Amino acid sequence: MDGRPVLEKGLKLDPAKHKILVDSRPLPKKGKKYYFLLNKPIGVISTAKDTHNRRKVTDFLKHVKARLYPVGRLDKDTTGVIIITNDGKLTHRLTHPRFEVEKEYTVKIEGGISQRGISELERGVDIDGKATSPCKIRFMRKDGKDTILRIKIHEGRKRQVRRMFEAKGKRVIELDRVKYAGLTLGRLKRGEYRELLKTEVEKLITM
């Protein structure tokens, strides 16, 4: 510390006030944490790396000098809310099943669906030998012969919403995540993003 060895156990030091070297090397500086909310367009993949040179969600933030990655995933054909950050602890908190983070989607399905079908989906359907957790589904409107619904889930299984409806013989035409962990897109258009407010980050960390 400051050019002299530290022999005292439990000594508390402030890196902002003291020069601290370990094996003659300075302690690594704590990097800045970034938190962004992106309105993911269709055709963009939710990953930080891709061997096929496809467009990625992190491509929208190439100017940020940090190793960013998406929180959870939306499949290529799904649009809407996705968080991009370099905060590993927050990512774990938002994606681990035990925290049951709520996600809300607008779903457009081909044709119609009965109230009985909706109730069965709400109670849970079998996917890969395991029933989905209870969810909430609300009828929004008809779009010609097709149907638009709003669904709230707190699981994050791969292509879950699409596969839930497939289990009832219903094909999902469009899928848009409109809310994630309480965050909505507001006026963000497809491909637009914004930095999260400090209050929003604090809420995510403590939820």
Catalytic residue chosen out of the listed positions 2, 59, 75, 143: 75
Per DSSP (E only), the strands in the chain are 21-22, 25-26, 35-40, 69-70, 78-85, 103-109, 126-127, 130-131, 136-143, 146-153, 172-180, 183-184, 193-195
Residue 103: phi and psi, rounded to 5, are -125, 140
69 CB-side CA count, 13 A: 16
Cβ-based neighbour number of residue 201 at 10 Å: 17
Q: Is 128 a known active-site residue?
A: no
Write the DSSP string, 46-95: S-S--TT---BGGGGGTTS-S--EESS---TTEEEEEEEES-HHHHHHHH
In whole angstroms, what is the distance from residue 52 CA to residue 183 CA? 31
Encoding tokens for residue 29?
A: 């500086």
In whole angstroms, what is the distance from residue 196 CA to residue 206 CA? 15
Residue positions annotated with a catalytic role: 75
